[in-house]
């Protein structure tokens, strides 16, 4: 029977530590870490994420600014706002909530954020630093996965790690972080042949494919560690992950639930990156 990896508990513990470090840093330097989040349009899911980020900042004693821009904002107007925040010494992290309206080039907006304020770690310079293992920031979801593995003392070195999904936000950076911890890494995707054959050899399986209950029991090795990054709606309308949790549970050693697993860690890692950016700004 699996041990459940409790993302809520780990997140609460890490946030407590961040709040303490933030208070100590502010006392020593007079600098309060600041995060600015820009949201363009009225995407309901994005609005929820932004509210959660704002509240999380306040809870740990950080300065938080939310900038709401209308759906018809031009790319030029958005870039001007990013530039304004880039020059603001009270802001250490800038995040533009994705997705953006179709008429705005996301890549250009990401490149406009200075790498030292890019707390999502999406800027090409930060992506490159992850590749060579010299990063200041790591994308928040992969960073959260590593934090969970560390919290449960799960050995990574020398293990076979299989990641299903090759996105720039999760799959690719997750692979780099696992490599940095000396895992042997395989990335699978929609064109992978004999997928179950590959995944069933994984000591650590990370599912980040975005398909409800995609990973079934026959795809999982006995005693594996299963990390479910997916957040989907099942046929019953309830939240579920990329892993068929009930079918896999008795076969694995550790598993993250959905909700309550990787999800709570993502904003927590954003707070950690913002604190790091603030500390770097006074060095």
Residue among 81, 117, 118, 120 flagged as catalytic? 120
Could you give the C-alpha distances from 212 to 47, 197, 200, 202, in angstroms and in order?
23, 20, 19, 20
**209 DSSP 8-state letter:** S
Residue 3 falls in the annotated catalytic set? no
Residue among 6, 53, 117, 172 flagged as catalytic? 53
Burial-class residue 133 by CB neighbours within 10 Å (0-12, 13-18, 19+): exposed
SS3 12: helix
Q: Which residue has the tokens 């890692």?
A: 269
Name 93's Cβ contacts closer than 8 Å, sequence gap at least 6.
33, 34, 35, 36, 117, 118, 119, 270, 273, 274, 277, 278
Pairing of strands 239-240, 232-233: antiparallel
| Alpha helices (runs of H) in the chain, residue ranges in sequence order | 7-29, 44-59, 75-86, 106-112, 124-131, 140-151, 171-180, 195-199, 245-248, 263-281
Q: Are 81 and 236 in contact (CB under 8 A)?
A: no
Phi and psi, residue 140, nearest 5°? -65, -40
Pairing of strands 93-96, 160-164: unpaired
Q: Are 120 and 95 in contact (CB under 8 A)?
A: yes
How many of the other CB atoms lie within 10 Å of CB of 182?
Answer: 11
Residue 53 falls in the annotated catalytic set? yes
Residue 120 falls in the annotated catalytic set? yes
Residue among 81, 97, 118, 221 flagged as catalytic? 97
Name 125's Cβ contacts closer than 8 Å, sequence gap at least 6.
115, 118
- Catalytic residue numbers read 53, 97, 120
């Amino acid at each position: 029977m699996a041990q459940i990896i409790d993302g809520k508990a780990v997140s609460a513990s890490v946030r407590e530590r961040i709040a303490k470090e933030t208070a100590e840093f502010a006392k020593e330097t007079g600098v309060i870490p600041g995060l600015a989040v820009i949201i363009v349009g009225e995407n309901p899911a994005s609005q929820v994420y932004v509210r959660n980020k704002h509240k999380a900042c306040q809870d740990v004693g950080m300065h938080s600014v939310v900038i709401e821009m209308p759906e018809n904002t031009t790319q030029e107007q958005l870039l001007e706002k990013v530039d304004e925040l880039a020059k603001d010494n009270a802001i250490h992290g800038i995040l533009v909530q994705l997705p953006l309206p179709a008429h705005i080039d996301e890549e250009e907006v990401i490149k406009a954020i200075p790498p030292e304020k890019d707390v999502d770690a999406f800027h090409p310079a930060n992506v490159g630093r992850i590749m060579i293992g010299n990063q200041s920031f790591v994308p928040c979801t992969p960073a959260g996965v590593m934090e969970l593995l560390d919290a449960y003392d799960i050995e990574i070195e020398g293990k076979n790690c299989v990641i299903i999904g090759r996105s720039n936000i999760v799959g690719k950076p997750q692979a780099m972080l696992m490599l940095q911890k000396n895992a042997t890494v395989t990335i699978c995707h929609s064109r992978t042949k004999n997928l179950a054959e590959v995944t069933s050899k994984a000591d650590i399986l990370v599912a980040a494919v975005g398909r409800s209950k995609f990973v079934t029991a026959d795809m999982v090795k006995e005693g594996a560690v299963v990390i479910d990054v997916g957040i989907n709606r099942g046929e019953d309308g309830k939240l579920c992950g990329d892993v068929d949790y009930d079918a896999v549970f008795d076969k694995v050693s550790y598993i993250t639930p959905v909700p309550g697993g990787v999800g709570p860690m993502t904003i927590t890692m954003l707070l950690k990156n913002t604190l790091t950016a603030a500390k770097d700004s006074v060095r």
